[in-house]
Amino acid sequence: MGAKESLVEAMKSGKTDDAVKFTKQALDEGFSAGDLVNTLTEGIREVGDAFERFEIFLPEMMMASDAMIACMDILSPKLKEEAKGLASNPTKVVMATVKGDLHEIGKNIVITLLNANGYDVLDLGADVDSLDIIKTAQREKAAVIGLSSLMTTTMLGQKEVIDILNDMGLRDKVKVVIGGAPTNEEWAETIGADGWSKDAPSAVRLIDKLTK
């Protein structure tokens, strides 16, 4: 098993020290940070899916998340190096995990890639009230709001943000994109979002498309 495959298995198993070791080894072997982030993103999605199916429990998912975060601490500076030479992008993006949901890892990966591509990103964190998200987007004159949800029980928070924007007459002022393990393109269409992405790289491509 190569370093990249070993990295994914270590991360999914929550073995942080091994995941860090294999991250460094994979970089030494010539894998790009972007490639490794894509691979890790798919791995953490599988962990989230297993959690939703009750095949693993919360402690196991949190251990995998901690391992992923440790890997991203190494990969994030490398991503920025790989993105050198790209023009700064003045487009403002507000990112948040919706009310009632404490999961941030997927959102944080998207933020890392957006920053690497020059976007001006404001991270509101997790468990953020819908109105606070909207007020921040208004104040910052953001072009995009990104909403993450990892649980079926919090998905309605994404819809709530869009509903409030409509009620306030602000819907045409900002693009809203959504993501997270239980979400899909059909859900995005149902709630009136401007787009859905299955992972961090596709989220960046989506935001590129919507803002250019």
Q: What is the pLDDT of residue 176?
A: 98
Whether residues 114 and 72 share a domain: the answer is: no
Whether residues 195 and 108 share a domain: the answer is: yes
Q: What is the pLDDT of residue 121?
A: 94
Residue 68 covered by a domain: yes
Q: What tokens were used for 84?
A: 């050198």
Q: How far is CA 203 from CA 107, 172, 175, in A?
A: 10, 20, 13
Residue 11 covered by a domain: yes
Q: Which domain holds residue 143?
A: 92-211
Q: What is the pLDDT of residue 86?
A: 53
Q: What is the pLDDT of residue 181?
A: 84
pLDDT digits (tens, 9 = 90+) for 153-182: 999 999 999 999 999 999 999 999 999 989
The CA distance from 212 to 209, in Å, is 6
Whether residues 75 and 127 share a domain: the answer is: no
Query: How much is the pTM?
Result: 0.76
Kind plus residue range of the DSSP H or E element containing 106: helix 105-116
Instruction: Point out the residues of the chain with pLDDT beneath 70.
Output: 83-89
Answer whether 148's CB lies under 8 Å from 103's CB.
yes
Give the distance, in angstroms, between the CA of residue 92 and the centroid of all CA atoms in the same chain: 16
Q: Looking at the 3D structure of the chain, how many domains does it have? A: 2
The CA distance from 138 to 56, in Å, is 40
